[in-house]
Amino acid sequence: MGVLSGIRVLEFEAIGPGPFAAMLLADMGADVLRIDRPEPPGDLGPRMEGRRVDVIGRGRRSVTLDLKTASGTAAALELVERADVLIEGLRPGAMERIGLGPDVALARNPKLVYGRMTGWGQTGPLAHSAGHDLNYVALSGVLSAIGPAGGKPVVPLNLVGDYGGGGMLLAMGVLAAALNVQRGGAGQVVDAAMIEGAAQLGAVFWGLQAAGHWREQRGSNFLDGGAPWYDTYRTADDQYMAVGAVESRFYAELLEMLGLAAAGLPAQHDRRGWPRLRAAFEATFETRSRDAWCAIFDGSDACVAPVLSFAEAPAHPQHRARGSFVEVDGVVQPGPAPRFSTTPSESPKPAPARGQGGTAALRDWGFDSRAIESLCALGLGTS
């Protein structure tokens, strides 16, 4: 059933980090019930309706409600009373305007963990401004360090803000608050801001900078592609190998396996020699295909790996041995993680259509037939 079996999560429809946090909780066994709008909204960006390919929407059940009506709000509050965790990702003040803000929700359910996911946070001069992942990562300081020397900052997909600095931060926050409730504490609001989550992901670099070991110039440091022994290299078949030989013993093995141990190259940490060292690596990697290099480095400690595509990664022997990827309704996707030794996560179920599974979820949440009829009379839709 999963390590979070018995935890009830009420999720309000959104995109990006909020649903990702709910997916993580659902993967670990939480009973996640999502309140969807009756019709697909046009302002939420690309969504995979029908939900088979909506990977981050997996593992929960759905009811539909029009939250712009008083009856819809009343029905939602009935669900709030039975939830352990609430997750919402609207702009600050939006939930308050429809009568579902933290004060109202916690008055109805004092043990509720009220999780709020925004880019800028609930307070501050930008709190009510629009934004997306890239904007939040830019203002956090982290984006300035991602990109090649002499080039512009590079978009790191939407991993640093939406998912690492957003969804994972929110999931950790609501779990911590839920643990506090189980220890006898009161319910509370968890204010998760992507701008702060992104900054936290970069914490080590503030430390390196303070110690004088990090330069502000992109592509000039040992973890940003500036060091030739921490970078990617093109192979003869126009593929890439990733090199991360940071420690001296791993670096020595890298040189040995590249056939460069006796080449009279500059020392590993001689910055003046990095251009020469990079040129030697580039020329060497271009002499063989990616598969040939994989065979050479297989089982070594040189810290070299192939750069695999999304399509290629699930077939790698490491992933296959661990079952890191699963197939859900014909769609290959990352499986639940991390692993739990005594309460393993089940294989996830595909994302629901609007209202799918809602009736069964309501029964599981303790609503009897008469109560379900009452909720439906307030506009709640289920199947």
Average pLDDT over residues 20-41: 95
In this prediction the pTM is 0.95
Residue-wise pLDDT for 168-219, tens only, equals 999 999 999 999 999 999 999 999 999 999 999 999 999 999 999 999 999 9
Phi, psi of 117 (to 5 degrees): -120, 115
DSSP letters along 74-127, please?
HHHHHHHTT-SEEEE-SPTTHHHHTT-SHHHHHHH-TT-EEEEEESS-SSSTTT
The answer to whether 278 and 229 are in contact (CB under 8 A) is: no
From 66, 132, 301, 316, active-site residue = 132
Confidence of residue 53 (pLDDT cuts 50, 70, 90): confident
Q: 10 Å Cβ neighbour count for 23?
A: 24
Per residue in 335-370, pLDDT tens? 999 999 999 999 999 999 999 999 999 999 999 999
Closest CA to 372 of 106, 63, 66, 37: 63
Res. 46: pLDDT tops 70: no
162 catalytically annotated: yes
Would you state the structure tokens that stand for residue 364, as one six-digit string?
């599981």
Category of 357 on φ-ψ map: left (φ > 0), alpha (ψ -120 to 50) or beta: left
Domains and CATH numbers, the chain: 8-201+325-377 (3.40.50.10540), 230-234+240-306 (3.30.1540.10)
For 128-139, write each residue's pLDDT tens digit.
999 999 999 999
Residue 132 is among the residues annotated as catalytic for this protein = yes
Q: Which of 84, 162, 224, 231 is catalytic?
A: 162
Asked whether residue 45 carries a pLDDT value surpassing 60, the answer given is no
Mean pLDDT in residue range 36-64: 79
Instruction: Give yes or no for residue 276 having a pLDDT over 80.
Output: yes
Per the prediction, the chain carries an average pLDDT of 96
